[in-house]
C-alpha cells in the first residue's frame, strides 16, 4: 500500500525545464520497493558496487533524503510503478534493507520518461562516455530527432552531441574497452582521427601497453595525417623529434572526499566535485539552468 505525504518538489523538476510546469507543492508517496519495476529506457548499464554500498550505508543512517521519480507502470496491475530516475538510490535502498522508498509520482509518457532518464544520467560525472553516447542515440532514434533538436533537448551544444555520437563509429572491441575503463573517452576520440584500421589498432596497442596521454595520441594522429604513416611508437614516446615530458604527479584527493561529493550529487541532483586534501581544497558545483542555480542559492539561504 502506498502512503501519501506532502512535500516540496525537488530534483529533476528543477533540472528539466520542459517538465517543471506544475505546482511546487508536489505529492510525495512512500511506495514499497517491490512495487517498482526498472526503467526500460535506463541508458546506464554499469553501477559500482562499492559506490552503492557507500550510498546504502548513508541511507541506513539518514534515510533517503531525495525522492526517486516514478510513473504509473504501463500495462501493469494497479499499485505498480515504473522507475523514471533515481536507480542508484533505489538499488542502494534495497541494499540497505528498506521496504519502502519516498517517490515523486508523475504522469509521463514514454518520450518524457526516456528524456528524463537520459538527461538525469548526463548530469552525472561518472557516466561512461559510451553509455552517454548510447543514451543519446537511443533518444535520437526513438524520437526521430536531428542532432540540433537532440542537443536542444538535452541542453548541450550540437558539436558536443555530434562528437559524442561519433564514438559509436569505433569498432566494437574499442567501444568495449572504453566501457570497461581501459581506454578513456579522450583516447577514443583521438582514435577516430585515424581511418586506417591497422594504424588505429597500432595506436590502441600503444595506449594499452604504455598508458600514453591523450596529447601524445593526438600528436601521433596529426603525424599520420601529414605523412600517411604513424611515427615510431616504441617506448610510449611522442612523434620523432619530440621529447617525452615526465608527467607531474598530481596530489590525490582523499577517497572520503570523493564519497562526500558522490553523496551530495546523488541526494540533491547537483553535479559536485571535491578536490584537495582534508585541510584545504575546492568544492565545485555545476548547474545547468537558472532554475537550478536559484534552488541551490535558496539552500544556502541566499536570495
Catalytic residue set: 87
**What residues form DSSP beta bridges with 103?**
29, 68
**The residue to which cell 541526494 is assigned:** 267
Q: Which residues contact 116 (CB under 8 A, 6 or more apart)?
A: 12, 16, 19, 69, 84, 85, 108
Rounded-to-integer distance, Cα 125 and Cα 210, Å: 26
Task: Report helix, strand or coil for 182.
Answer: coil
Long-range contacts of 119-122 (CB under 8 A, 24+ apart): 119/12, 119/15, 119/16, 119/153, 119/154, 119/155, 120/12, 120/15, 120/85, 120/86, 120/269, 121/42, 121/43, 121/44, 122/154, 122/155, 122/156
Amino acid at each position: 500500500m502506498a502512503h501519501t505525504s506532502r512535500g516540496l518538489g525537488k530534483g529533476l523538476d528543477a533540472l528539466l525545464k520542459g517538465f517543471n510546469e506544475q505546482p511546487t507543492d508536489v505529492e510525495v508517496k512512500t511506495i514499497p520497493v517491490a512495487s517498482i519495476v526498472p526503467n526500460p529506457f535506463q541508458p546506464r548499464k554499469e553501477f559500482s558496487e562499492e559506490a552503492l554500498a557507500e550510498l546504502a550505508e548513508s541511507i541506513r543512517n539518514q534515510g533517503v533524503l531525495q525522492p526517486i521519480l516514478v510513473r504509473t507502470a504501463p500495462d501493469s496491475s494497479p499499485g505498480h510503478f515504473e522507475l523514471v530516475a533515481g536507480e542508484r538510490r533505489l538499488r542502494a535502498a534495497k541494499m540497505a534493507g528498506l521496504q519502502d522508498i519516498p517517490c515523486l509520482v508523475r504522469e509521463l509518457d514514454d518520450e518524457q520518461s526516456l528524456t528524463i532518464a537520459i538527461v538525469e544520467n548526463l548530469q552525472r560525472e561518472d557516466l561512461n562516455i559510451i553509455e552517454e553516447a548510447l543514451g543519446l542515440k537511443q533518444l535520437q532514434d526513438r524520437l526521430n530527432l536531428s542532432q540540433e533538436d537532440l542537443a536542444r533537448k538535452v541542453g548541450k551544444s550540437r558539436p558536443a552531441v555530434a562528437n559524442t555520437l561519433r564514438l559509436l563509429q569505433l569498432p566494437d572491441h574499442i567501444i568495449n574497452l572504453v566501457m570497461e575503463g581501459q581506454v578513456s573517452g579522450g583516447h577514443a576520440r583521438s582514435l577516430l582521427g585515424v581511418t586506417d584500421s591497422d594504424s588505429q589498432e597500432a595506436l590502441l596497442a600503444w595506449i594499452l601497453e604504455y598508458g600514453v596521454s591523450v596529447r601524445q595520441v593526438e600528436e601521433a594522429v596529426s603525424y599520420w595525417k601529414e605523412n600517411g604513416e604513424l611515427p615510431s611508437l616504441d617506448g610510449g614516446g611522442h612523434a620523432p623529434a619530440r621529447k617525452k615530458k615526465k608527467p607531474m604527479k598530481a596530489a590525490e584527493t582523499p577517497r572520503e572526499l570523493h564519497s562526500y561529493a558522490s553523496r551530495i550529487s546523488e541526494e540533491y541532483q547537483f553535479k559536485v566535485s571535491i578536490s584537495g586534501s582534508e585541510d584545504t581544497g575546492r568544492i565545485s558545483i555545476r548547474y545547468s539552468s537558472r532554475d537550478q542555480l536559484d534552488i541551490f542559492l535558496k539552500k544556502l539561504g541566499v536570495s
